[in-house]
Amino acid sequence: MRNIAQLGKIFFTAALFFTVVMNAAQADSHNTKPNTELGPNDVIKIVIDALKNNDPEKGDDGIATVFEFASPGNKSMTGPLPRFTKMIKGGFQEMLNHTSSEFSEMDLTGDTALQAVWLTTRSGQTTGYVFQLGKQTEGEFKGMWMTESVWPLGDRKPPGQSI
């Protein structure tokens, strides 16, 4: 009787684990495309995570995700994807495969969100960017938060250091 109870526990634990893993996988695949359920915080975290985990051997999948979340206006200036990829690798390469990120408080005004994000590169340098997101008001992406632009802030000074 004890063995049956232990088998039941093992089966229940395995089933629970499988359910959690499957739900996480479905959530990840659902959230790699813009949708109205994602808020601006979600979008920035997806974009930063994609940059951190970009894999050139998988067709620069992280950069492709970032491009998916670029607004139509942004894409018209930076796209198509091969051009966008060259731009990221040429002018924003320190964003790729960074080791950690720190998010400042988001400034949300109407349909515009601004957030500074500090990235630590593999060499240990910390550099910042301001992300501007806009909630799309028309077209195919109406109601979705997407990246309008990104501005470099430069290197972060150590705490307590002044100019």
Print the domain residue range for 25. Answer: 1-31
Pull the structure tokens for residue 65: 């995700």
More confident: 82 or 14:
82
Whether residue 10 is predicted with pLDDT greater than 50 in this model: the reply is: no
Q: What's the full length of the chain, in residues? A: 163
Q: Structurally, how many domains does the chain consist of?
A: 2
Same domain, 15 and 74: no
> Are 57 and 96 within one domain?
yes
The highest-confidence range among 5-19, 26-40, 116-130, 145-159, by mean pLDDT, is 116-130
CA distance 36 to 54: 25
Asked if 122 and 142 sit in the same domain, the reply is yes
Q: Specify whether 141 is located in the same domain as 78.
A: yes
pTM of the model as a whole: 0.78
**One domain, residues 67 and 138:** yes
The tens digit of pLDDT for each residue in 100-153 reads: 999 999 999 999 999 999 999 999 999 999 999 999 999 999 999 999 999 999
Same domain, 27 and 40: no
Instruction: Give the model's pLDDT for residue 22.
Output: 39
Tell whether the model's pLDDT for residue 98 goes beyond 80.
yes
Same domain, 14 and 44: no
Say yes or no to pLDDT of 4 above 60: no
Residue 134 is assigned to a structural domain of this protein: yes
- Residue 160, in any domain of the structure: no
Strands 126-135 and 112-120: antiparallel
48 and 10 together in one domain: no
Say if residue 27 is in the same domain as residue 44.
Answer: no
For the chain, what is the mean pLDDT? 85
Whole-angstrom Cα distance, residue 5 to residue 37? 41
In a domain, 162, yes or no: no
Q: Are residues 73 and 22 in the same domain?
A: no
pLDDT-wise least confident of 13-17, 32-36, 122-126, 159-163:
13-17
Tell me what pLDDT residue 156 has. 73
70/116 same-domain check: yes
Kindly state whether residues 79 and 104 are assigned to the same domain.
Answer: yes
